[in-house]
């Protein structure tokens, strides 16, 4: 009987090993097939002759418009920044962001709006449980009381209504999306990794209402979408999105850990629909004038010199309103600087800058 049991155990073990080897072989085969699809080399430097072709062939790690929609990742954000001009010449700027913190089942909206005629800057923020865009395919549709952010297939809508102002803006993409990092993925070191793409030049048309007076406006916006299993609380950064008057677009991204040590310095340069990813050796940034917040005592560098020698770019970015600190302690428990900038030097233009991690740090 003992001998018979041993024989059965040997046969069972042999069958188990055979099944195990078969499963391993199957997994390896699937990984090879999937990997061939994921890492198929695509030449991003060549502009497609037709805009619709670019959306499907630029990158295999991000598929648009499918990946415009929410993902089941730890963190995700949809971000717009833009500058507006009314028919009468009045100037405004805004940034409008939705964050999904899926690990906490939380949705957050941050909004700032600057009226350069009066010099006033309005901010609004809210948080709610869950995801207001659940089930949306090939796009997103976040709608709350008095506000909306929606987008699909390169056509987006932003609406906001507060006691101080309101706007209703339609946005249309004008050129191929930009995929950052390695085929749309950024390595954030110990903080994790992130999918990341931008629509760097979206035309804006719509209306702005201040104190009961409505005016038609137009302008240019920058759109970012980022998601992944990463922790932003471990990071600090300097971020620039610049739209030059010669129709070139630049993004610069300096990312540091919580000890202010560099993690990733990268960027992109887009010209005539062609994008080149910039490594840290391709550009340099130097801080200029600083602004001290009377509310938090934080010093922010609001002027920077940016050089990209290979592109003959030697520019200075200057904040259009120094007092652009966003106190988000009510929603995301952080404080950052976010505002419009003007570009001068070898090139002229406009853009936005975000500075995070300067409070209680040596980054300034």
Whether 256 contacts 295, CB under 8 Å: no
Residue 298 located in a structural domain: yes
Q: What pLDDT, on the 0 to 100 scale, is given for residue 153?
A: 82
Residue 92 located in a structural domain: yes
Whether 98 contacts 157, CB under 8 Å: no
Which CATH number belongs to the domain containing residue 340 in this structure? Answer: 2.40.370.10
Half-sphere exposure (CA, 13 Å, Cβ side) for 349?
A: 24
Q: How far apart are the first and last CA of the chain?
A: 79
Residue 283 located in a structural domain: yes
Residue 27 located in a structural domain: no
For the segment 287-296, the average pLDDT, to the nearest whole number, is 97
> Which single residue is written with the structure tokens 């549709």?
141
> In the chain, which residue ranges form alpha helices assigned H by DSSP?
2-38, 51-57
Q: What pLDDT, on the 0 to 100 scale, is given for residue 35?
A: 33
CB count, 10 Å around CB of 24? 10
For the segment 185-198, the average pLDDT, to the nearest whole number, is 87
Q: What pLDDT, on the 0 to 100 scale, is given for residue 60?
A: 55
Half-sphere exposure (CA, 13 Å, Cβ side) for 95?
A: 23
Residue 191 located in a structural domain: yes
Question: Does the CA dihedral 285-327-227-149 come out positive or negative?
Answer: negative
Counting Cβ atoms within 10 Å, is residue 72 exposed (0-12), middle (13-18) or buried (19+)? exposed
Whether 262 contacts 252, CB under 8 Å: no
Element (H, E) at 128: strand 120-129
Among 311, 307, 291, smallest CA distance to 343 is for: 307
Whether 347 has a pLDDT exceeding 50, the answer reads yes
> Which single residue is written with the structure tokens 């120094």?
322
9-22 pLDDT tens trace:
444 444 444 333 43
Residue 38 located in a structural domain: no
Question: Does the CA dihedral 306-325-169-224 come out positive or negative?
Answer: positive
Residue 338 to residue 318: CA distance in whole angstroms: 13
211-266 pLDDT tens trace:
899 999 999 999 999 999 877 777 889 999 999 999 999 999 999 987 888 989 99
Residue 282 to residue 135: CA distance in whole angstroms: 41
361 band by pLDDT with thresholds 50, 70 and 90:
low
Whether 184 has a pLDDT exceeding 50, the answer reads yes
Q: What are phi and psi of 247, to 5 degrees?
A: 75, 15
State the average pLDDT for the chain. Answer: 84
Whether 159 contacts 168, CB under 8 Å: yes
Q: Into how many domains does the chain fold?
A: 1
Whether the link from the prior residue into 65 is cis, omega within 30° of 0, is: yes
Q: What pLDDT, on the 0 to 100 scale, is given for residue 169?
A: 98
Q: What is the rounded (10 degree) CA torsion for 44, 50, 53, 59?
A: 20
Q: What pLDDT, on the 0 to 100 scale, is given for residue 201?
A: 97
190 band by pLDDT with thresholds 50, 70 and 90:
confident
Buried residues in 25-59 as b, exposed as e (16+ CB within 10 A) = eeeeeeeeeeeeeeeeeeebeebeeeeeebbeebb
Residue 156 located in a structural domain: yes
Q: Which domain holds residue 236?
A: 51-356
Whether 149 contacts 158, CB under 8 Å: yes
Name the β-bridge partners of 160.
Answer: 147, 167
Indicate the pairing of strand 193-210 with strand 262-271: unpaired
Residue 32 located in a structural domain: no
Name the β-bridge partners of 327.
Answer: 335
Whether 141 has a pLDDT exceeding 70, the answer reads yes
Residue 55 to residue 346: CA distance in whole angstroms: 32
Q: What are phi and psi of 67, to 5 degrees?
A: -85, 5
């Amino acid at each position: 009987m003992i001998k018979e049991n041993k024989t059965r155990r040997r046969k069972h073990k042999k069958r188990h090993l055979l099944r195990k080897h078969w499963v391993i072989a199957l997994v390896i085969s699937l990984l090879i097939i999937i990997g061939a699809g994921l890492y198929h080399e695509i030449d991003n430097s060549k502009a497609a002759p037709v805009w619709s072709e670019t959306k499907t062939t630029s990158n295999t790690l991000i598929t648009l418009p499918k990946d415009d929609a929410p993902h089941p990742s730890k963190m995700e954000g949809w971000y717009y920044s833009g500058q507006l001009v009314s028919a009468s010449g009045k100037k405004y700027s805004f940034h409008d962001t939705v964050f999904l913190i899926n690990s906490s089942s939380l949705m957050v909206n941050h909004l700032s709006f600057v009226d350069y005629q009066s010099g006033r800057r309005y901010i609004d923020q809210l948080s709610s449980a869950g995801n207001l865009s659940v089930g949306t395919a090939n796009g997103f549709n976040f709608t709350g009381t008095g506000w909306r952010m929606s987008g699909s297939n390169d056509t987006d809508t932003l609406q906001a209504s507060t006691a101080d102002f309101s706007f209703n803006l339609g946005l249309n993409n004008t050129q191929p999306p930009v995929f950052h990092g390695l085929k749309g993925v950024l390595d954030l070191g110990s903080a994790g990794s992130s999918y990341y793409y931008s629509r760097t030049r979206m035309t804006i048309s719509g209306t702005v209402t201040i104190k009961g007076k409505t005016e038609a406006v137009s302008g240019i916006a920058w759109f970012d979408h980022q998601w992944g299993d990463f922790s932003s609380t471990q990071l600090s950064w300097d971020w620039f999105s610049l739209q030059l008057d010669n129709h070139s677009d630049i993004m610069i991204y300096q990312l540091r850990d919580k000890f202010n040590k560099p993690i990733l310095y990268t960027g992109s340069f887009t010209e005539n629909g062609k994008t080149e990813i910039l490594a840290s050796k391709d550009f340099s940034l130097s801080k200029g004038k600083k602004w001290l917040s009377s509310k938090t005592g934080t010093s922010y560098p609001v002027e920077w010199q940016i050089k990209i020698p290979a592109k003959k770019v030697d520019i200075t970015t200057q904040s259009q309103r120094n007092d652009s600190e966003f106190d988000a302690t009510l929603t995301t428990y952080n404080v950052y600087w976010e505002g419009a900038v003007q570009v001068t030097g070898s090139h002229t233009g406009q853009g936005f800058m975000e500075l995070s991690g300067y409070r209680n740090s040596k980054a300034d």
